[in-house]
Amino acid sequence: MRPLTDAELAGRTDLQHRDDIERLVVEFYRYAAMDELLGPVFAAAHVDWPEHIATLTDFWSWQLLGERGYQGNPLRAHEPSHERTPFTDAHFERWLDLFTSTIDEQFVGPTAEMAKVRARKMAFAMRRLLTGRHGDHDEPTEPIWPTTRAGSG
């Protein structure tokens, strides 16, 4: 990614609304799908992009804005892709680098910073689940998961 100009940096805002989250998700996956390392993983998975974007927008809207709507377990959802194209440390690091740089390119503020922290935790949790390894980091791996309450749909 190219360095940002002062004008571009000045126009950044925080992640405040679902539209902001969707913009982040679309931009990130545009980079990831075309990435030399990550692109082949998405190609092998035959990703349905509209569905994937909608699901990830739901996920990150829940993680960052507290909006209900995401259903599922992102760690378990990636097991089939990992079986087809085993994820390496390089995959996790590249995913995190791209996600962080996409946030930094477009957003600034406390929610943007929280997004980077949650992404780091997600990458470490995914690595632990899929590879059985914790990596060289002492980061806690505690992503927030949906809870189901009796009587709530």
Q: Which residues are annotated as a binding site for heme?
A: 78
CA nearest to 1, candidates 100, 117, 90:
100
Q: Give all strands (DSSP E) within 86-125, no chain letters.
A: none
Q: Which residues are annotated as a binding site?
A: 78
| DSSP class of 141 | -
CA nearest to 127, candidates 141, 138, 113, 115:
141
- Between CA 48 and CA 34 the distance in angstroms is 15
